[in-house]
């Protein structure tokens, strides 16, 4: 009598690889979209007056304070109930990107604020327009300074992307859950998944520390 | 020429310039001395339109600086400015610091901008520092870089806002020597300064500012060696003691 459960085999590698690729895809989408949106919002935060900043800050606070898993479920359920069911990849990308944006915005804002106003005045006194001073002086100086924090947010997004499994996106964690229910080998599979996240994250965080040290000198 | 006509400037309720009038002709050096809060730095900021004014007029070569139709970015190309804080661009090498504005503001080619920058840096004695990052240099060297960076725009006038005040005492000399050299070159300059000896040696005219008005103005011999007013004498005896 054959077992109902079939053990893990090399035939599963294609399935696992799909999960790996999906995790990488949605992480990249969220990091890129979150970075671009965060750059814009962070710049507005750094330049805007107090009233606009309070309103914008409130939205960002909500995005950063409500657990990602709740945002994912709320968004997907609400959009579905409105009669516009979204593909899990699309819904997950939107929520994860906005979540990333909320953190990136504060990183960028801190970076822009760290460039002293007198530096911009000096650039303007050379005849640069406002946007030339932003593009050639304020941005390059602050973007270098924030690189380590930017990398930190990007790394946590890769790990947080595992939560998108709750809305049905076939990323690494969800593929492994399915494999576990078939093979009943949770230990091997979960250790493997953990090792994968470690292999991606650890070298990047080492690189971030290296850059930080180099800039501190 | 720079002509300042009855200029008034307030920050909120605080009036810092109370009707300032003075002229600086081409090739002249004017030093402005006075206590802190006397409005002398504010006047410089108003001349190149970093600050607005409430009334009066500032004319730079027939350009009405604070007229709304004036292109102030264009105007600032005529007016080089160096600040108390040197504000070197930390992400660029010394050479790139001086070449940036000629390239992006004037639209010069990279080679043209670099050759102008090289010339100005050699002029201020930084010919051996082209590829260095400014944060590795002393304050005096960074301040000379700031001067070269402003000169690379080929301005008609230079405005100096207490450029030696943030320097260690042993570095003041090299920066003042650079200003003396500019004087020899015939550059028109307005120097807000606390270096009274420098003002005496280098200036054609000295203006003593006190609480937003020009208390006394004239040749260095008049204002510094033979001050007529009690306030001027008091100020000078304080800074010279």
Residues A188-198: tens digit of each pLDDT:
899 988 998 89
Cβ proximity of B98 and B148 under 8 Å: yes
Tens digits of residue pLDDT in A134-154:
999 999 999 988 998 999 999
Any idea which residue has 């750059």 for tokens? A39
For residue A217, what pLDDT is reported? 54
Mean pLDDT along residues A28-54? 93
Crossing angle of helices A172-183 and A186-216, in 10° steps, is 160
Cβ proximity of B6 and B56 under 8 Å: yes
The pLDDT > 90 percentage for chain A reads 57
| Domains of chain A: residue spans and CATH | 11-216 (1.10.3720.10)
Shortest CB distance from A122 goes to which of B79, B83, B104? B83
Mean pLDDT along residues B31-45? 93
Which structural domain range is residue B58 located in? 2-240
pTM of the model: 0.85
What ipTM score was computed for the predicted complex, to two decimals?
0.90
Locate the chain B residue with the closest alpha carbon to A132. B104
Give the H or E element holding residue A152: helix A139-160
Which residues, 6 or more positions from A209, have their beta carbon under 8 angstroms from its beta carbon?
A148
For residue A3, what pLDDT is reported? 62
For residue B25, what pLDDT is reported? 96
Which residues, 6 or more positions from A122, have their beta carbon under 8 angstroms from its beta carbon?
B81, B83, B87, B146
Mutation target among A111, A118, A124, A126 for the B interface, most CBs of B within 10 A: A126
The three-state secondary structure class of B160 is strand
Instruction: Flag if B76 and A119 touch (Cβ within 8 Å).
Output: no
pLDDT at B194 over 70: yes
Q: Quick one: CA torsion of A118, A123, A125, A128, rounded to 10 degrees? A: -140
CA A105 to chain centre: 12
The three-state secondary structure class of A129 is coil
Measured in angstroms, the CA of B180 and the nearest CA of chain A are apart by 22
Q: Looking at the 3D structure of chain B, how many domains does it have?
A: 1
Q: Would you place residue A2 in the very low, low, confident or very high pLDDT band (cuts 50, 70, 90)? A: low
Q: In this complex, is the C-beta atom of B116 within 8 Å of any C-beta atom belonging to chain A? A: no
Distance CA A60, CA A27 (A): 20
Distance CA B220, CA B200 (A): 5
For residue A95, what pLDDT is reported? 96
Within 8 A of B91 by CB-CB distance, chain A residues are: 140-141, 144
A9 or A46, higher pLDDT: A46
Mean pLDDT along residues B218-227? 94
Distance CA A27, CA A31 (A): 6
Instruction: List the CATH number of the domain containing B208.
Output: 3.40.50.300
The pLDDT > 70 percentage for chain B reads 100
Within 8 A of B90 by CB-CB distance, chain A residues are: 141
Distance CA A8, CA B74 (A): 71
Q: Would you place residue B90 in the very low, low, confident or very high pLDDT band (cuts 50, 70, 90)? A: very high
Locate the chain A residue with the closest alpha carbon to B77. A127
DSSP B105-143: TT---HHHHHHHHHHHHHHTT-TT-TTS-GGGS-HHHHH
Mutation target among B73, B74, B153 for the A interface, most CBs of A within 10 A: B73
Within 8 A of A118 by CB-CB distance, chain B residues are: 83, 85, 87
Q: Would you place residue A216 in the very low, low, confident or very high pLDDT band (cuts 50, 70, 90)? A: low
For residue A12, what pLDDT is reported? 82
pLDDT at A1 over 50: no
**B126-to-B106, B172, B178, B185 alpha-carbon distances in Å:** 23, 16, 11, 18
Q: In this complex, is the C-beta atom of A40 within 8 Å of any C-beta atom belonging to chain B? A: no
Distance CA A71, CA B85 (A): 47
Residues forming beta bridges with residue B209, ordered by sequence position: B34, B214
For residue A170, what pLDDT is reported? 85
Mean pLDDT along residues B8-18? 94
């Amino acid at each position: 009598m054959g077992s109902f459960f079939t053990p893990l085999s090399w035939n599963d590698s294609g399935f696992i690889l799909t999960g790996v690729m999906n995790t990488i895809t949605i992480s990249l989408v969220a990091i890129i979209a979150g970075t671009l949106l965060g750059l814009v919002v962070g710049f507005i935060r750094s330049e805007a007056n107090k009233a606009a900043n309070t309103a914008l800050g409130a939205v960002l606070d909500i995005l950063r304070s409500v657990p990602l898993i709740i945002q994912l479920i709320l968004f997907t359920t609400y959009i579905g109930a409105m009669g516009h069911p979204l593909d899990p990849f699309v819904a997950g990308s939107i929520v994860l990107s906005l979540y990333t944006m909320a953190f990136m915005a504060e990183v960028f804002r801190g970076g822009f604020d760290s460039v002293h106003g007198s530096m911009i005045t000096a650039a303007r006194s050379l005849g640069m327009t406002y946007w030339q001073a932003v593009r050639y002086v304020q941005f390059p100086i602050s973007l270098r300074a924030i690189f380590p924090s930017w990398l930190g947010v990007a790394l946590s997004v890769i790990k947080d992307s595992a939560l998108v499994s709750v809305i049905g996106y076939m990323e690494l964690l969800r593929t492994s859950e399915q494999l576990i229910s078939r093979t009943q080998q949770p230990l091997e599979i979960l250790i493997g998944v953990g090792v994968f996240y470690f292999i991606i994250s650890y070298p990047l965080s080492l690189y971030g520390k290296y850059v930080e040290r180099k800039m501190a000198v | 020429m720079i002509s300042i006509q009855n200029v008034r400037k307030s920050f909120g309720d605080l009036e810092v310039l109370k009707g300032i009038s003075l002229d600086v002709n081409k090739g002249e050096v004017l030093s402005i001395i006075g206590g802190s809060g006397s409005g002398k730095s504010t006047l410089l900021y108003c001349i190149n339109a970093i600050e607005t004014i409430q009334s009066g007029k500032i004319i730079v070569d027939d350009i009405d600086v604070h007229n709304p139709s004036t292109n102030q970015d264009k105007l600032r190309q005529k007016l080089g400015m160096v600040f108390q804080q040197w504000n070197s661009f930390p992400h660029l090498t010394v050479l790139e610091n001086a070449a940036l504005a000629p390239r992006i503001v004037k639209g010069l080619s990279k080679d043209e901008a670099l050759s102008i920058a090289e010339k100005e840096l050699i002029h201020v004695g930084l010919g051996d520092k082209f590829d260095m990052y400014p944060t590795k240099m002393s304050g005096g060297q960074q301040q000379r870089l700031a001067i070269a960076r402003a000169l690379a725009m080929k301005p008609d006038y230079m405005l100096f806002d207490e450029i030696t005040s943030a320097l260690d005492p042993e570095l003041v000399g090299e920066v003042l020597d650079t200003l003396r050299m500019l004087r020899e070159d015939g550059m028109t300059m307005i120097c807000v300064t606390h270096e009274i000896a420098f003002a005496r040696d280098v200036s054609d005219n000295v203006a003593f500012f006190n609480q937003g008005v020009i208390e006394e103005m004239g040749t260095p011999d008049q204002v510094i060696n033979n001050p007529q007013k009690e306030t001027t004498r008091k100020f000078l005896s304080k800074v010279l003691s």
